[in-house]
């Protein structure tokens, strides 16, 4: 894509629940690896007294020993496929199929014009716009008369 003022652009990391409700987000530099921001992203989510999920599904970009160790230390089941250069681990395919919920939520965020066109050039201004879109999504899901 080319360089921006801050490097190779930005990445938006997103956490959702099983129903597609966005719970947390993080913006990192485009050249930063996904596994570097994993712990900070999951630590940003807290609902009531429970701050840890029972299981976490992710793509192969999260299949690294530090991520798997972090999850195991907290008793969280990792539903992450292994990369081709790793020893094969069993994968619960039925639960992994449900990962599309996150992809659909990201697709919905891309439909939000202000987020998709990225009028805010700085990450400190872009992240609040993403969070506002997430709040809008939550409010729409709470209102049964406005299912979109």
- Most confident of the ranges 3-7, 48-52, 54-58: 54-58
Give the mean pLDDT of 29-48. Answer: 83
- Most confident of the ranges 6-15, 112-121, 124-133: 124-133
pLDDT band at 1 (very low <50, low <70, confident <90, very high): very low
pLDDT for 93 equals 84
Contact present, 18 and 101 (Cβ < 8 Å): yes
Residues 6+ apart with CB under 8 A from 122: 6
* The overall pTM is greater than 0.85: no
Beta-carbon neighbour count of residue 89 at 10 Å?
A: 11
pLDDT for 124 equals 83
Tokens 């709040």, located at residue? 135
On the CB side of 136, CA atoms within 13 Å amount to: 15
Give the mean pLDDT of 111-134. Answer: 84
d(CA 55, CA 79): 7
- Phi, psi (deg, nearest 5) at residue 63: -85, 70
The distance from CA 10 to its chain's CA centroid, rounded to whole angstroms, is 14
d(CA 110, CA 97): 21
pLDDT band at 5 (very low <50, low <70, confident <90, very high): low
d(CA 53, CA 115): 27
């Amino acid at each position: 894509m080319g360089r921006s003022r801050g490097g190779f652009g930005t990445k938006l990391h997103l956490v959702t629940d099983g129903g597609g409700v966005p719970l947390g987000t993080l913006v990192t530099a485009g050249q930063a690896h996904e596994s570097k921001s994993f712990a900070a992203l999951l630590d940003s989510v807290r609902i009531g007294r429970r701050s840890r999920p029972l299981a976490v599904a992710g793509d192969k970009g999260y299949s690294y020993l530090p991520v798997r160790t972090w999850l195991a230390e907290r008793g969280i089941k990792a539903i992450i496929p292994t990369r081709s250069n790793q020893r094969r681990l069993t994968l619960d395919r039925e639960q992994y199929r449900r990962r599309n919920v996150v992809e659909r939520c990201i697709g919905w965020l891309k439909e939000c014009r202000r987020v998709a066109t990225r009028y805010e050039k700085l990450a400190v201004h872009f992240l609040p716009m993403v969070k506002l879109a997430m709040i809008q999504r939550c409010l729409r899901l709470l209102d049964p008369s406005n299912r979109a």
